[in-house]
Structure 1
C-alpha cells in the first residue's frame, strides 16, 4: 500500500511505502460485511473493529491476526502486558510446558530464499536464551508456514488455551514482493511473535507505524501491566510494530528483549 506518511526514523529518500501485515491496493470482505454482533465481540475482547476481514479460519483483524469463532465466544480473563504507552503487549494465552522447543516448517511453495529468512528469524529468538527455542523441520511442525494469497502480507493467531503456539502462519509472497532477506526475516519473526502471544507494539496508536488516522484499539476489559525497566514512550524499532517499511530490518531491540525475557 503506497502512502506518503512515514515514521520519522525512516529515510524519506529511500522509503516510498509502508506495507502493513495485510494490505494491498484493493480491499475485500471488510468490516462492512461483518455483522455488528461479531464486531461487538471483537471489541469486547480488546481488538480493533476497523477493516475486519472474513476469512476461512474466522476473522482477520489488526492487519495480520486471526480470530476464530471459538476465540470470539470465550470470555477470558485477559491480561495485557504493557511495556509503556506504545510498547509490548501480550494476550491471555501464552505457550506453556516450559522449557519448550517449538518446531517450524516452511512450504516449498514459497520462494526458496524464505528458508534462509526463516533461519535468520529463528536465530534471533534462539540467541535470547529464552525458555522457548525454535527449530526448523521439514514436516510435522508445531508451526507450519504456508503460502497464501489475499489482502495481507502474512497472518497468524495466538496460543491456544492449552498453551500450544498457534499452528499456522500464512505468507503472501506476491504481496511481499522482492524484499531483502532481513525484511522477510523480520516479517516471519513478527508472525512468530503472535504465535507465542505478542500483540502489536503500537496497540494504543497504530498510526505510529502505519500512518493515517490514529487508532486506539481499545483495551475493553483487558488489563495492563507495565514491564519494569521499560520506557513509557514510543519504540520505533520494535519487531512487533503493526507496519514495516519496504526494505526495513527490525532485529530485537533492548525493549523487545526485556519483553521476551519477561514472558519466556
Structure 2
C-alpha cells in the first residue's frame, strides 16, 4: 500500500496512506525504463498494470504493493472469465484460498514497537467477526502468512504482499512491512496499522485493489488503464459500479482507519461465506 502525500498536505490531521502497500507521492517510478518489453508483456498478460513497475529481488513489484516473482511470470496463463472493465468496484483474482472451511495462521516478527502486534490481532479480529468460512488465528511463529519487516525505501511504500493465492489454494506469504525508520511516523495509531495489515491480508486471499482500474481515485496524480485480459481481475457481483471512497482495498491510504464497509462485506461474503 502507498501513502497519499497530497491528502496529507491538504489536511495535516490525516496520516499517511496505506492500502496499496504504498504511500503515494503522485509520481510513477522511472524503473520501467530498464525493464525489458518481454517482461512488461508478461506482466500485462497476467492482468496487471505495467505503469510504475519496479525491479525487486527475484522479481518485480507491480501496482505499488504486489510482488510477482520471476517464477510467477514464467507460469502459463490460467484461463478465467474476461476482465470486466469498469470503474471502482471490488475485484478478485482467478486464484482463491481453497479447502474451506479453513483456519489460516498468521505470525509477525521483527518489530519492537508493540503497535504492530496489536494491529495484527485487530486485523485478524476484523475478519473473524464476519463469520466467514475462512478464519485467521495468531501464532507465535511460522504462520501460513508471515508478517515481516524489511527496508522498502523511503518513497512512500508502507508494505507489500508477496502476491495472491497459489495454484494449490494457499494464501500468499509473506507480508512485508516497511521497517525504515520514520515510515509510519513516531506514534502510528493501532487502527491505522490495522487497516494496513487487513489490506495486505486481503491481497493474500485473492482481493485486487478496489480502484485497480483507476488508481487516481485514491492516489491522485495518475491513472492506470489495464485493458482487457483473461486473468487477473474478476468483478464481484453486488459491489457498486461507481466509486467507493472508503473500501479497505483502495490502492492508497490517507492515514485514516478504514474498517470493512458494507460493500467490502458483500465482497468478502461472496468469496468466503
**Same-fold call, TM cutoff 0.5:** yes
Number of residue pairs matched by the alignment: 260
User: Is the contact between residue 94 and residue 234 of structure 2 (CA under 8 Å) also seen in structure 1?
Assistant: no
Question: Which residue, out of 249, 255, 262, partners 2:257?
Answer: 249
Detail structure 1 runs of 4+ shifted over 6 Å in the superposition.
Answer: 24-29, 80-84
- 1:259 is matched with which residue? 267
Contact kept in structure 2, 1:47 and 1:217, CA below 8 Å: yes
1:141 corresponding residue in structure 2: 143
**Which residue in 1 is equivalent to 2:159?**
154
Structure 2, unpaired ranges of 5+: none
Deviations 1:99-157 (Å, cap 9, x if unpaired)?
Answer: 00000000133522211101110000001110100011011210100011123211111
Alignment TM-score, normalising by the size of structure 2: 0.86
Q: Which of 94, 118, 127 is equivalent to 1:92?
A: 94
Aligned ranges for residues 1-264 of structure 1 at < 5 Å? Answer: 3-4=5-6, 6=7, 12=11, 14-15=13-14, 18=17, 21-23=21-23, 30-73=31-74, 74-79=76-81, 85-151=87-153, 152-156=157-161, 157-173=163-179, 174=181, 175-177=183-185, 178-222=187-231, 226-246=235-255, 248-264=256-272
> Distance in 1 between the 2:104 and 2:34 partners?
36
Change (3 A) 1:211 1:251: same
2:93–2:233 contact (8 Å) kept in structure 1: no
Distance in 2 between the 1:140 and 1:17 partners?
A: 30
Distance 1:18 1:103, change over 3 A: closer
Partners of 2:85 and 2:129 in 1: CA distance: 21
**Deviation (angstroms), 1:53:** 1.1
Residue aligned with 1:134, SS: strand
Residue 110 to residue 209, structure 1, CA distance change in 2 (3 Å): farther
CA-CA distance at 1:89 after TM superposition: 0.8
CA distance in 2, matches of 1:80, 1:257: 24
Contact between 2:96 and 2:205, CA under 8 Å: does it hold in 1? yes
| Alpha-carbon distance between aligned partners in 2 of 1:253 and 1:62, rounded to the nearest angstrom | 23
Q: TM (normalized to structure 1)? A: 0.88
Give the C-alpha shift of residue 70 in structure 1.
2.1
